Amino acid sequence: MMFIGKFKNDKPFPDKLAWNRGDQITYDQVSSVCVNDRTKVYFWGVLYNRKSEMNVENLSDAAIIAEMYERSGDSGFSYLDGSFTFIVFDSEQIIIVRDHHGTNKPVYYNNFFFASSLALLQKTDGFITEPD
C-alpha cells in the first residue's frame, strides 16, 4: 500500500510514479475505491464490523464509507472497527482516517501533499528535510 495525494490540485505529482491516478491522488494498489457524484473514497485495509454495525454484505468497504459519510458526515467514522486507512474527497475537504488501533500505515503530510511514506513525501517539489 503506497499512495501520495495533493491537498490542492495545483501541484504536480513526482514524475517517476507510474501508478493508478485520480485527480488528487496516485497509488500503487488499493483495497477498494468508490467514486460517485459527491464523494471519492480510497480505502486500504479491512473493516471488521462491516456486517454487524452496518448490515451490508454486497458493498465494498469504500462504498460503505461513502454511504456513511453522505448520511452523517465524519461522525459515523468512530463506529468503524478494523485495520485501515482511508481518504474521503468531497468538493469542500479531504478527510484522512486511520484506524484507532494504529495497525495500518501512518500518513505523513506537509502543506501541499500527504503520503503513506516519508520517502514518497520527500520526492515532492519543495519538501524541506531540515527541521525548523
Q: For residue 130, tell me if it sits in a domain.
A: no
Residue 44 bridge partners (DSSP): 85
Q: Is residue 97 in some structural domain?
A: yes
**CATH number, residue 85:** 3.60.20.10
Q: Would you say residue 95 lies in a domain?
A: yes
Instruction: Return phi, psi of residue 43, to 5°.
Output: -125, 130
Instruction: For residue 103, name the pLDDT band (cuts at 50, 70, 90).
Output: confident
At 37-51, the pLDDT tens digits run 999 999 999 898 877
Q: Please report whether residue 129 resides in a domain.
A: no
pTM for the structure as a whole: 0.81
DSSP 41-108: EEEEEEESSHHHHH--SSS-HHHHHHHHHHHHGGGGGGG--EEEEEEEE-SS-EEEEE-TT--SPP-E
What pLDDT does residue 75 have? 92
